[in-house]
Amino acid sequence: MESLKVDHTYGQALFDAAQDLGRVDEICEEYKIVTRVFENEPLLKKLFLVPTLSAIEKKETAREIFEGRISQELLNFLYILISKRRISYWERIGRHYEKLIMDRDGLTKGILYTVLPLTADQLEGFESKASLTLGKMVKLENRIDKTLIGGAKIYIDGKLIDASVKTRLESMKQRMRA
């Protein structure tokens, strides 16, 4: 539960600061740059987690790597996370920051499970229908679920829309018993 609080607190703080600067989207892109560096160089992130290195040494390393590649505001945010020993939350903070951007823009993400991959047009059709249903723009990620017989399942904002053939058959079975 603490991690949720940390994610939200730091993500909201970064979002508020970026909004005050009018640079929410730029900071988001820079955040993704740092995230990619951490993904491509996992030892770097581990270095920031080593308790025997001082915060000063870690900040100097961050400065050498990121200065000139990201804004001073995001670099300062990275310094704060290093000082507060919160760098392990980097990815989760970034996800919360992106969620705040999507909320601001009236967007939401969801996952669409199907048996086969959908074409771009099919995916767009599902997004349009889901957007109309929810009253906000929906961006869906198509994932394959081989356990489905047919149809689809959509998870959006913690809600399940189950239009799978299996569920329809179960429903028909229940009605026949009644």
Domain harbouring 138, CATH code: 3.40.30
Based on the structure, what is the number of domains in the chain?
A: 2
Write down the pLDDT at residue 163: 72
Q: Does one domain contain both 59 and 144?
A: no
Q: Does one domain contain both 171 and 145?
A: yes
Write down the pLDDT at residue 16: 97
> Running along the chain, 178 residues long, what does each successive block of 10 average in pLDDT?
79 96 97 96 93 95 96 97 95 95 90 92 92 88 89 84 73 76
Write down the pLDDT at residue 148: 83
* SS3 per residue for the chain: CHHHHHHHHHHHHHHHHHHHHCCHHHHHHHHHHHHHHHHHCHHHHHHHHCCCCCHHHHHHHHHHHHECCECHHHHHHHHHHHHCCCHHHHHHHHHHHHHHHHHHCCEEEEEEEECCCCCHHHHHHHHHHHHHHHCCEEEEEEEECCCCCCEEEEEECCEEEEEEHHHHHHHHHHHHHC
Q: Does one domain contain both 114 and 172?
A: yes
Among the three residues 102, 120, 137, which one is the final residue of a domain in this structure? Answer: 102
Q: Does one domain contain both 69 and 28?
A: yes
